[in-house]
Amino acid sequence: EKNLTSDAVYQGGDNDWIYMRYAEVLLNYAEAKNEFSGPDGSVYDALDKVRARGGLPPLTRNFSQVTLREKIRSERRVELCFEEHRVYDVRRWKTGMTYFNQPVYRMNVIKNTNGSLTYSKVVLENRVYKESYNLFPIPQIERERNRKLTPNP
């Protein structure tokens, strides 16, 4: 309290914050439409817009729903890299057992007396991923409102 001034005036602020890029909207649309009804021209158009921005050629328009699902997931992985989407995508797709249930490695680099380097791959951590990690907790307030709700595992 001693560091607060009583005559401080809120200056306001209207800085815009980019929460969702258009590329994500297009990828969300492509994923939802492909899952709902399979590939059609609008799915390919959405993906091609994302790819064109990155200087990539359009996709061939003859993929099955399963193959196009993998293409969409790959586009999301690349386009949304470093934007904190990956863990939520993996949870939604329920593929965490494949990607996260494995050891994490580090590289030991040793400089030899002759100046050459020796590299060795060493387990840093054994990661465990459980299917229950795909579920979010049910908020306590909702469980209090409905006593029949039980916590997610």
Does residue 5 or residue 79 have the better pLDDT?
A: 79
**pLDDT at 153 (0 to 100):** 86
**List of residues 6+ apart from 129 with CB closer than 8 A:** 96, 97, 99, 100, 101
pLDDT for residue 146 is more than 80: yes
Q: Give dist(CA 51, CA 79) in Å, integer.
A: 9
CA separation for the pair 38, 68 (Å, rounded): 9
The 3-state DSSP composition of the chain as helix, strand, coil percent (nearest 5) reads 45, 10, 45
Confidence of residue 11 (pLDDT cuts 50, 70, 90): confident
Q: Which residue reads 């020796």 in tokens?
A: 118
Q: What is this structure's pTM?
A: 0.76
- 65-74 pLDDT, tens digit per residue, is 999 999 999 9
Burial grade of 46 (CB within 10 A; 0-12, 13-18, 19 or more)? buried
Pick the CATH number of 22-93 from 3.40.50.2300, 3.40.225.10, 1.25.40.900, 2.40.160.40: 1.25.40.900
Q: Where are the domains of the chain?
A: 22-93, 102-153
| 105-124: pLDDT as tens digits | 999 999 999 999 999 999 99
In this predicted structure, the answer to whether residue 4 has a pLDDT above a threshold of 70 is no
